[in-house]
Amino acid sequence: MKTVLITGACGGIGKATALYFAEQGWSIIATMLCLEQGKEFDNIANIKCFVLDVSSTESIEKCKNEILLQYSKIDLVINNAGVGYRSFVELAEDKEIERIVEINWLGVVKVCRAFIPVFRKQNKGQFINITSIAGLVNLPLGSFYHSTKHAVESFSECMAYELIDFKISVATVQFGNTPSNFQKNVVKSNTSSIPSYEHLMNKIGVVLAKKTIKNSDLKNSIIQELYQIAENPPKNFKRYTIGFDANFLNIIRKRLGYQIFARLIRRSIFK
């Protein structure tokens, strides 16, 4: 039986992925901030929950040691934990900037760093780091979220070079807005008295809400693609882009270049 560790497994894509992999016969290490969040897994024999705060080196080490006492082998780590922050640079708060960097970027770094020795000892392993279309293109109000996702993309590609001799596979997965609790939990900057800012925040909110509703089938596509990657790890670093929105934005950004792409985004948002 293959074993996968999933961070942020208590809800959204993480939870759905844990349930799907369990149905396919995998052994699931579901990590979360509090075991109370994993109550829905209680009656599933091949899912075990562990407390893990990806922003804390101490928490990661403690969790890893507990896991290694119960599992002799780990085949895959899916770095799924993440948060959103929709803010104007001028209005951004230090605590929110630090939080998104610690979870979305440093969390991935620290979890990978902790489990590389495990994979290296096994001479086999796989990391799938969930980023976003935000890791490939840049959109309004995404200065902080996009930055962390771009960072994970670069980190993953660089890390893959280091690990290829140890048969450790590295991949990233990008997709657009999908129905889950993620968008509901996105932190937004405080209400502003600046009309331009208020207009843009409201406009972005409407656009994202419409996209999320349209992408009703995206979650299933993401989960199935994650499973296919897990069952067939790429030998070299690879990016997987899932869903029409993500593929469309990625393609037109590459083909049109920055200036024309930016003009297109401005027209669609500011019209």
Q: Give me the number of domains the chain comprises.
A: 1
pLDDT band for 167, please (50, 70, 90 cuts).
Answer: very high
Q: What percent of the chain has pLDDT over 70?
A: 90
Nearest to 79 by CA among 52, 45, 59: 52
Summarize the confidence of residues 86-96 as an average pLDDT.
93
DSSP three-state, residue 123: coil
> At 11, which CATH number?
3.40.50.720
**Interatomic CA distance for residues 76 and 74, integer angstroms:** 6
Q: CA-CA distances (angstroms) from residue 105 to 52, 84, 129, 170?
A: 16, 12, 10, 16
- The reported pLDDT for the residue numbered 199 is 80
How far is it, in rounded angstroms, from Cα 138 to Cα 265? 10
Distance from C-alpha of 229 to C-alpha of 226, rounded to nearest angstrom: 5
Confidence (pTM): 0.90
- Which of 137, 141, 248, 263 has its CA nearest to residue 203? 141
Domain encompassing residue 97: 3-270
What does the pLDDT look like over 50-69, one tens digit per residue? 999 999 999 999 999 999 99
- The pLDDT score that the predictor gives to residue 93 is 94
**pLDDT, position 269:** 66
pLDDT at residue 211 in the model: 61
What is the separation, in whole angstroms, between the first and last Cα of the chain?
Answer: 53
pLDDT bin (cut points 50, 70, 90) of residue 213 is: low
